[in-house]
Amino acid sequence: MQLTELRGVGETLAKKFRILGIFSAQELVDAVPRRYDDYSEITSVSKIKPGLVTLKIRFGTPTQRYSRGGLHMTEALASDETGSVKVTWFNQRYRAQSLKVGEEYYLSGEFSPNHRYFSIVNPTIELAKSFPLHTARMVPVYRTTKGLGIAQIRKAVRSALDTLQFEETLPSWLLKQEQLMLRKEALEQMHFPSSKEKLQEARKRLGFEEVFQLTLASELNKAERSKEKSLSIALNEEAVASFVDSLPFKLTNDQRKAAWEILQDMEGDTPMNRLLEGDVGSGKTLVAAIAALNTSMQGFQTAFMAPTELLARQHAESLQKHFSSHDSPPEIEFLSGSMSKGDRRHPLERIESGVAQIIIGTHALFQESVTFHDLALVVVDEQHRFGVDQRKALQSKAKKMPHVLHMTATPIPRSLALTLYGELDVSRIEELPPGRQPIGTHVIIPEQREKLYKKLAEHCQGSKEQLYIVCPQIDEGVSKRANATTLHDELSKKWLKSLKIGLLHGRMKADEKERVMREFSAGQLDAIVATTVIEVGVDVPNATTMIIESADSFGLAQLHQLRGRVGRGSKQSRCYLVLSENDAPKKRLQLLSNETNGFVLAEYDLDERGPGAIYGRMQSGALDLRVAKLSDRALIKSAKAAAQQYITRGDDLLEYKQLHSRVSELRKIVNLN
């Protein structure tokens, strides 16, 4: 149903709703309130106290006059059987004509001192005989835009709720089992709750449905993938053990466990679909190397894809180093989009012939010109940086569905992983390799900035150590948060003028970003001012200091990942968290100072700030949760169990058109095959 079909909504208002991303009556109903103002407690005039009040009163004859400042005033006496109170509206001339003297009204507003007496100024009123939208209840508060006020939105929502036909989207057995409201009642209570208890019931119902849809989409993808057949990669225990023994260090227990889980998956003829999580520097690449080595020992190829050429080159160098002391190192090939046609010819021939056993590169790996001899394993680093179509394009290069290992350095709480990555098996590396020094983390107030920068300038000059400086935004905005462009100019002319400083942000072209990071990696730059584009980047062992400006505007998980960009070498590293203001909240940042486990920090962020603080760049729509909170572990657990039960029962999704439509859409979004 079009918005213009609703009572009181013309084309002018419809255009305003479109600014808010609302294009239909159904989308209007789905746009749940941001919060509620509680006007549900109705009191008598004799018992009112300063603050928000709701009364049930009748008005006397209104009067109009001008204040000394020239404001038009409409005044009236509001009375019930216990007493009277003065009410004033400023610059609302229509009030005098619209008030129905003697009729009963609900009135909600602020009761406060006005000069020498108490009054209620600019209250909201509604006739008591009508369904109250703005008074005498828990009143919904929505996101607004210029020319579209909250009162207009409430009226439009009320009209939509009265006009639309609401089909149930969940099976009756599931509603009964989970003790859920009907969808129509839930939407009604979500917008115009009759009580706090009913609002909670509505949130439970709609939140359950959101998580159920996400997990059902993941479970259906997983069930479909389980029907696919892949190459069975037998475990060559002797070769793997020989490789592990040749390393100059011991694997951590988490690395051993993750490698074992991956190798066991690949022995089956069902395609592996596993997510390997671990902090920066936890040794994920080495685990992937073990899987790739075992794959090559069976005569098959591995494609290892990274989001940037610099990171891909680092992986290639890292694997070469790991295999350098092994008796039978696999043949490694590198491929990138920046290579000329002539430079690509030889690598392409080696890949097609099967001589190249581990092929490492960027998006170039799935270009049409690339033909694999026998691709069996696909490793995708920082998988959320690639779209579904890009990952599928690489997998299509295999003769059979390949085994897929996704890797991420972003610590993901279990409830979030269950919801968004329900189709994946998950391995975690929480231990850091022995010998890694903890990064000293300190909270700095703005007044200490000058002293800090001058001290670091001297330190970098004397030690040749390098420095990262991170800002939350590129250019100056309306907020007081630091921005990379201005700070780069200031530091170059002021506190760090003795150092060579680079600038890096997301609006730069890919080759520019690569050049700056290459120069920093080579030690040609002493410092780099950047946005969070460095969150996933190359290892620079000589970078020992990280300064994060306006640190209070970042999530803890993101701060932890940024912090992980230093401490890659043997030298003591430091991270300074600079507050945007002296009195900015410090509690979260103090937690970061004392905690080194990224998963602990991510769980805290999820509870306190929601999923966006952990993973701000998720695929569009995947976390479009209006009601559900991913910190609600019980809800996640019951919704996931219900999705699995739904599949086991074999219910026909087509019986529920809206559910089918949404789940089909989500299957494309969360698809990680």
Domain range annotation of the chain: 41-136, 237-268+283-408, 440-595
Structure tokens at 539: 């290892």
Structure tokens at 382: 């920082």
Question: Which DSSP symbol is given to 83?
Answer: E
Determine the pLDDT at residue 654. Answer: 83
At the second CATH level, the architecture of 41-136 is Beta Barrel (2.40)
Q: Decide: helix, strand or coil at residue 30.
A: helix
Q: Which residues of 236-263 are buried (b: 16+ CB within 10 A; e: fewer)?
A: beebbeebbeeeeeebbebbebbbebbb
Determine the pLDDT at residue 568. Answer: 74
At the second CATH level, the architecture of 440-595 is 3-Layer(aba) Sandwich (3.40)
Q: Decide: helix, strand or coil at residue 627.
A: coil
**10-residue block means of pLDDT along the chain (673 residues)?**
91 92 92 90 91 92 88 92 92 91 92 75 91 90 91 94 91 94 95 94 94 87 83 92 91 95 94 88 91 95 88 88 86 90 91 94 86 93 66 79 88 73 82 78 90 89 87 77 89 90 87 87 91 75 91 85 81 89 76 85 77 51 67 84 88 84 81 54
Helical (H) or strand (E) element with 668: helix 657-670
Contact, 345 vs 369, CB < 8 A? no
Ramachandran angles phi, psi of 56, nearest 5°: -115, 110
237-268+283-408 adopts what CATH topology?
Answer: Rossmann fold (3.40.50)
User: Which residue spans within 253-384 are E strands per DSSP?
Assistant: 273-278, 301-305, 332-335, 358-361, 375-381
Determine the pLDDT at residue 621. Answer: 44
Query: What is the gyration radius of the CA atoms in the chain, in angstroms?
Result: 31
The Cβ-side half-sphere exposure at 629, using a 13 Å CA radius, reads 14
Partners of 64 in the β-ladder: 74
Determine the pLDDT at residue 174. Answer: 93
Structure tokens at 500: 């060579």
d(CA 216, CA 419) in angstroms, rounded, equals: 9
Name the one residue in this structure whose structure tokens are 């609600």: 632
Asked if 41-136 and 237-268+283-408 have one fold, the answer is no
d(CA 420, CA 606) in angstroms, rounded, equals: 14
Structure tokens at 439: 């990064």
Helix axes 633-649, 196-226, angle to 10 degrees: 50
AA identity, residue 22: I
Q: Which residues of 484-506 are buried (b: 16+ CB within 10 A; e: fewer)?
A: bbebbeebbeebbeebebbbbbe
d(CA 577, CA 560) in angstroms, rounded, equals: 11
